[in-house]
């Protein structure tokens, strides 16, 4: 067997080692970039879900304020004071909704830009949106969540299945469009219907 001299090796092991080290470094950096990207995607998704849940909670409160027999007149006619922060949520069900007076021919305008006052006297900057705080009136939500509701006309009528004069008495089926938002980026809407027997029942 012929011995291999040191001079004939020419640093081949060192060259191969450096190439392997370079490949491993590139793989590690690529893997780190992938992990960073995945972490950002996950954090963004978590924030989106959190914002969606907060806006959805505001919608649920907007709907909850119409339940129960109390304050029927305020569930049929808009009152600016009901859209202020002092109108806290009561768990006994006797609540006043944040009901806005929006004309039917301007409903699409409001839906597309609900943050605008639309020129109506009722809709001032301080009472377009009711701050969502749940059952804790002192709580501040991280996403700055708000809500309001609109009494929707159906075929030009505010009440459905109401007898003659029932609208003035507050009887019939009423439909509501509820708006919820979290910050200025996410807007949600829901609809619900309530059946009222009237103020005299």
Q: Give the residue, 22 or 113, on which the prediction is more confident.
A: 22
By three-state DSSP, how is residue 171 classified? strand
**Is the Cβ–Cβ distance between 122 and 155 less than 8 Å?**
no
Residue 2 lies in a domain: no
pLDDT in tens, 62-100: 999 998 778 888 888 888 888 888 888 887 778 899 988
By three-state DSSP, how is residue 122 classified? coil
CA-based nearest residue to 161, from 191, 193, 192:
193
Residue 181 lies in a domain: yes
pLDDT(177) > 80: yes
Residue 23 lies in a domain: no
Distances (CA, A) of 140 to 134, 143, 144, 152: 10, 9, 7, 30
Place of tokens 């793989």: 27
**Which structural domain range is residue 126 located in?**
49-197
Q: Give the residue, 9 or 199, on which the prediction is more confident.
A: 199
pLDDT at 201: 54
**Is the Cβ–Cβ distance between 95 and 68 less than 8 Å?**
yes
pLDDT(137) > 70: no
pTM: 0.70
By three-state DSSP, how is residue 16 classified? helix
| Tally of domains in the chain | 1
Q: Give the residue, 104 or 152, on which the prediction is more confident.
A: 152
- d(CA 39, CA 42) in angstroms, rounded, equals 5
């Amino acid at each position: 067997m012929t011995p291999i001299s040191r001079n004939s090796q020419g640093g081949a092991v060192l060259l191969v080692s450096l190439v392997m080290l370079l490949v491993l470094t590139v793989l590690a950096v690529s893997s780190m970039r992938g992990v960073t990207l995945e972490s950002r995607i996950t954090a963004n998704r978590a924030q989106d879900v959190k914002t969606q849940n907060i806006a959805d909670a505001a919608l649920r409160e907007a709907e909850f304020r119409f339940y129960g027999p109390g304050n029927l007149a305020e569930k049929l006619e808009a009152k600016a004071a009901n859209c202020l922060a002092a109108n806290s949520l009561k768990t006994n069900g006797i609540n006043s909704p944040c009901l806005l007076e929006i004309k039917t021919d301007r409903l699409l305008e409001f839906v597309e830009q609900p943050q605008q006052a639309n020129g109506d006297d009722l809709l001032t900057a301080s009472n377009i949106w009711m701050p969502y705080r749940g059952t804790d009136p002192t709580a501040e939500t991280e996403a700055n969540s708000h809500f309001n509701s609109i009494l929707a006309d159906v075929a030009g009528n505010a009440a459905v299945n109401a007898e003659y004069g029932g609208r003035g008495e507050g009887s019939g089926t009423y439909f509501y469009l509820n708006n919820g938002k979290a910050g200025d980026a996410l807007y949600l809407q829901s609809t619900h219907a309530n059946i009222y027997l009237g103020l005299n029942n």
